[in-house]
Structure formats: C-alpha cells, structure tokens
C-alpha cells in the first residue's frame, strides 16, 4: 500500500513538473519572440517605460529607450510621447521628468510630452498612463522599452485596457549574457503574471511574494551596473 502511494506520488509530481516545464518553455519562446519583433504602427501615443536616472540625467539604458521613441515620433508614428517613472526617496528628479527634459532638448515640444510621475513598477506606470490616456480617448499606443521587456509590458497594457504594440530599442547597452539573463527572468515574471494577474502581483510587491524562491533565481532587474549606467548608483529609481 505504501509503495503504491509512493508510486502515485512520484507520477503526480512528474506530471506537475512536466506541465510547469512545458508552460515555462512555451512562455520562454514567446518572450524571446516578442524581444525580436517590432510592431510599431500609427497610434495615439508612444509610451516609454522608465529606467534609472541620475540627478536628472537619463542612464544609458533610459537614453536608448528615449532615442528610439524620438525616432518613432519623428517618423509620425504618434503625436504624443508619454514618459513614465517616479523616484526614490532623496531623488531630486523623477524618471519621467528626466525623460521629458531629454526629449525636449532633442526637439520634442512640451505640448507633445505627457508625464506619468508616480509609478515604481511597469504595472503602476502603465495603469496610471492608461487612466489619463483613456480619459482623452487615446487607447492605441506603442510601447518602448528594452527587447526582453516586450512580452510583459504587452500583457500589462492589455490588462489595463490599452490596445498596445511594442517597438523595443535596439541600442540598449544590455547585450549578450545580460540580456539572456533578463529573458529568463521575464519568462518567470510573465509565466506568473498570466496565472495570477499582473496587477495582483504588483499589489503583493512582486512575483517573489507569490512564487517562493523566485527572488533567489532572479536578480532585481532595476539594478543598473556601473558598466551600463556610466557611474555608481545604489538603487536606481522607478520602472524597469
């Protein structure tokens, strides 16, 4: 009897592991494919997901995203650019304000720049941006971030009621092993988000609260190394 129960338990565990493996494998392929795709098309607005800023100056990662958004804007993809991201205690500037200043210095008029200045996660920023965009009947957007980020922000945008396509930057300093590590991280985040809901994960302060052990598998993507940032920073603010 005990041997039978043990055998059944092993079979059940094997089936569960197999289902999880297949699910994450499919999700990994979807995240990778989304990172290779550029679906930019005429829209109401371009939304730039924030990244670290240093006393009002965008990091190299954020600048790469802004440069791509600027290129889309000049091509007439959308008449508005939404910049996103709040700040950490002690910061003088938000990511959104640093981004807006950068765009304005590169020829984008203030009237074409919209700011979301409270978000500290992708979900928070997209949810906040969705509220003021939908109030002005602007629901078709192009999302700009790093390639590895595309699948998750596409999902989040749909969850908050936006009709979104992604157009990731191709000039990000995150390349090679760093990008692949983030793709694996995003696979876990997307996999969990599709099961639990991205808003619920955000309210529970991250995937690791609902998926034990995930925090040990995934280095926090908001940490920007000296190599990428161009200077030392302990905890860059806002959205990644």
Helix (H) or strand (E) holding 192: helix 176-196
Q: Quick one: pLDDT at residue 211? A: 54
Q: What tokens appear for 4 in the block?
A: 């039978």
Closest CA to 228 of 65, 28, 38: 65
d(CA 121, CA 119): 6
The CATH code for residues 1-240 is 3.40.50.620
Q: What tokens appear for 163 in the block?
A: 């009709």
- What is the number of other CB atoms lying within 10 angstroms of the CB of residue 56? 13
Q: pTM of this prediction?
A: 0.84
Per-residue pLDDT, averaged over 36-45, amounts to 97
Q: Where are the domains of the chain?
A: 1-240
The 10s digit of each residue's pLDDT in 91-146 is: 899 999 999 999 999 999 999 999 999 999 999 999 999 999 999 999 999 999 99
- Tell me, what DSSP letter sits at residue 170? S
Strand residue runs (E) in the chain: 45-48, 53-54, 57-58, 81-84, 113-116, 140-144, 163-166
The 10s digit of each residue's pLDDT in 16-32 is: 999 999 999 999 999 99
Q: Residue 188 in contact with residue 217, Cβ under 8 Å?
A: yes
């Amino acid at each position: 009897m005990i041997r039978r129960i043990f055998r059944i338990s092993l079979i059940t565990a094997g089936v569960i592991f197999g289902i999880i493996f297949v699910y994450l494998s499919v999700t990994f392929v979807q995240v990778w494919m989304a990172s290779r795709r550029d679906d930019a098309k005429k829209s109401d607005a371009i939304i730039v997901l924030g990244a670290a800023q240093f006393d009002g100056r965008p990091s190299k990662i954020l600048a790469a995203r802004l440069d791509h958004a600027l290129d889309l804007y000049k091509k007439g993809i959308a008449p508005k650019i939404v910049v996103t991201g709040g700040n950490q205690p002690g910061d003088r500037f938000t990511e959104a304000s640093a981004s807006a200043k950068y765009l304005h210095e590169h020829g984008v008029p203030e009237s074409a720049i919209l700011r979301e200045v409270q978000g500290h996660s992708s979900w928070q920023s997209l949810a906040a941006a969705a509220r003021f965009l939908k109030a002005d009947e602007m629901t078709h957007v192009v999302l700009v971030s790093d390639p590895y980020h595309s699948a998750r922000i596409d999902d989040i945008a749909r969850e908050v009621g936006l009709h979104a396509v992604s157009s990731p930057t191709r000039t990000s300093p995150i390349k090679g092993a760093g990008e692949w590590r983030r793709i694996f991280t995003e696979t876990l985040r997307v996999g969990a988000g599709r099961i639990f809901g991205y808003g619920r994960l955000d309210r529970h302060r991250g995937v690791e609260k609902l998926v034990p052990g995930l925090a040990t598998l995934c280095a926090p993507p908001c940490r920007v190394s000296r190599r990428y940032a161009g200077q030392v920073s302990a905890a860059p603010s806002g959205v990644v």
